[in-house]
Amino acid sequence: MKTLMVSICLWLLICSGCMVSSTEADADGGMPTAVEVGVTDPTKAIPVTEDTFVCLKKMRPVRGFFVSNILGDLDGTVASAMSPEGATYPPGSVVQLIPAEVMIKHHKGWNTITNDWEFFELDVSEEGSKIKVRGTTQVNNKFGGNCFECHQKAEPQWDLICEEDHGCDSLPIPGFVIRWTQKGDPRCD
Ligand code: HEC
């Protein structure tokens, strides 16, 4: 029992450092890393700035994750998320599981390989969100896992959304740590 408690505390310590903290300075002075120039169609892009990202509590909860829509089509995004057969998310959809990792849907044709999803890794703090890395197939999370490689394993009807049973490999973190990270979003008041 004691060993279990110690392991849980260790998990919390490690994960508070790797998933929420944002104190480390980026080597490039904080500029978002630009990747894969030329593989997307800029005419199909939806502008995304650091202000696009908000506290998870301001987004709509759907089962275990959160959604919003930066073009105002929240109903469309929620309908896709709620569809029992799966659906293609509408442009403007923002999807998050934890504060630092985000998927945003651009207009159709932006990038056919990722179904027009862009992946983001953020640094989040009380001051707000800083884009650490953004892009299509080359964005990795803090564990070194490639967002697209993992999310593309979702069965096609789920439009790269993994949840727990859509065919993706599991995240290397237990569910209670995910919930705890969601509740601890430092951007919320
Ligand atoms: C090892 C595979 C893996 C990697 C790598 C990965 N994810 Fe996920 N992701 C998952 C799984 C599995 C879930 C669902 C977990 C759950 O619901 O408990 C998930 C959930 C999400 C969700 C909520 C919607 C959904 O698909 O369920 C978003 C958004 C997300 N991840 C974005 C990212 C981003 C951005 C990156 C890279 C910075 C990333 N993920 C890297 C497996 C992965």
Per-residue pLDDT of 9-25, as tens digits, reads: 445 444 443 443 333 33
- The pLDDT assigned to 100 comes to 97
For ligand 1, say whether the CB of 67 is within 6 Å of any of its atoms: no
Nearest to 94 by CA among 74, 114, 64: 74
Ligand 1 pocket mutation, candidates 138, 147, 176, criterion most atoms within 8 A of CB = 147
Question: How many C-beta neighbours within 10 Å does residue 124 have?
Answer: 22
- The pLDDT assigned to 54 comes to 97
Ligand 1 pocket mutation, candidates 150, 165, 181, 182, criterion most atoms within 8 A of CB = 150
Angle among Cα 119, 96, 108 to the nearest 5 degrees reads 50
Please name the residues in contact with 121: beta carbons below 8 A apart, sequence gap of 6 or more: 100, 101, 131, 132, 133, 134, 139, 140, 141, 142, 147
Query: Which residues of the chain have a pLDDT value below 70?
Result: 1-38
CA-nearest residue for atom 22, ligand 1, is 97
Nearest to 65 by CA among 90, 38, 101: 101
| Tokens 């008041």, located at residue | 189
- The pLDDT assigned to 33 comes to 47
- The pLDDT assigned to 150 comes to 97
Q: Which two tokens stand for residue 33?
A: 């890393």
